[in-house]
Amino acid sequence: MSKTDRIIKIVEELNNVFEIRVFLDHDPYKVLVRTILSQRTRDENTDQATENLFSKYKDIYEIVEAPTEDVQELIKPAGFYRVKAGRIQEVSQILIDEYGGEVPDTLEELVKLPGVGRKTANCVLVFAFELPAIPVDTHVHRISNRMGLVNTKNPDETEVELSAIAPRELWIKLNDLMVQFGQNICKPISPQCEICPVNYLCDYDGE
């Protein structure tokens, strides 16, 4: 079976187990902020920090004007709150000054923003604009290599390889399904191969 056929089957099988999630009603600014908050923390911490922030400050203009110390306190659950608060306000000011308060919808423009790498940019494209892209985080990178779909050293290489073998119509689903799969079954340590719905498509031999 070709790698493309394997990916098609993997997405089909995982879609039977997990539901595609909708993030923040596809609001590009909220998706961008949530993705910045999500760096190096767990989803539940990200969700709490995001809810705290947007419960008090409703939009980009209020967040820019907010006292930095207040933003820090609200996003504490996400960790690294001083760095993330500064980054969120810096990016927000740039969006206001250079983009009329709107989040750009191209990879090229998004990665110009401070602290926004390809993964964050691709998350915005997928979850805010529903544009085809493959955000590659630690889960997607690990699983793709573990299963033998790619043989890469870093997430950027994995994005390139997956983009070459995964049908474009599956790109939007691929990240979210693999992330949920990686969090619940194909874990970094002691993957639960015995209950894995795609173990028959996997090259992993337990080492």
Helix residue ranges per DSSP H, 75-200: 81-99, 107-110, 118-127, 138-146, 155-165, 171-184
pLDDT-derived band at 24, boundaries 50, 70, 90? low
Q: Is the pLDDT of residue 207 over 90?
A: no
pLDDT of residue 26: 85
- Token pair, residue 145, equals 């290599």
Rounded to whole angstroms, the Cα distance separating 199 from 207 reads 15
Specify the 3-state DSSP secondary structure of 16: helix
pLDDT, average across residues 36-61: 95
* CA terminus-to-terminus distance, the chain: 23
pLDDT of residue 102: 98
pLDDT-derived band at 205, boundaries 50, 70, 90? confident
Rounded to whole angstroms, the Cα distance separating 97 from 114 reads 14
User: What's the residue count for the chain?
Assistant: 207
Q: Is the pLDDT of residue 160 over 90?
A: yes
3-state secondary structure 158-177: HHHHHHHHCCHHHHHHHHHH
> How do residues 165-197 score in pLDDT, each as one tens digit?
999 999 989 999 999 999 999 999 999 999 999
Going from the N-terminus, what domains does the chain have, and what CATH number goes with each? Answer: 3-20+134-201 (1.10.1670.10), 28-129 (1.10.340.30)
pLDDT of residue 22: 67
Rounded to whole angstroms, the Cα distance separating 198 from 18 reads 13
> How do residues 69-87 score in pLDDT, each as one tens digit?
999 999 999 999 999 999 9
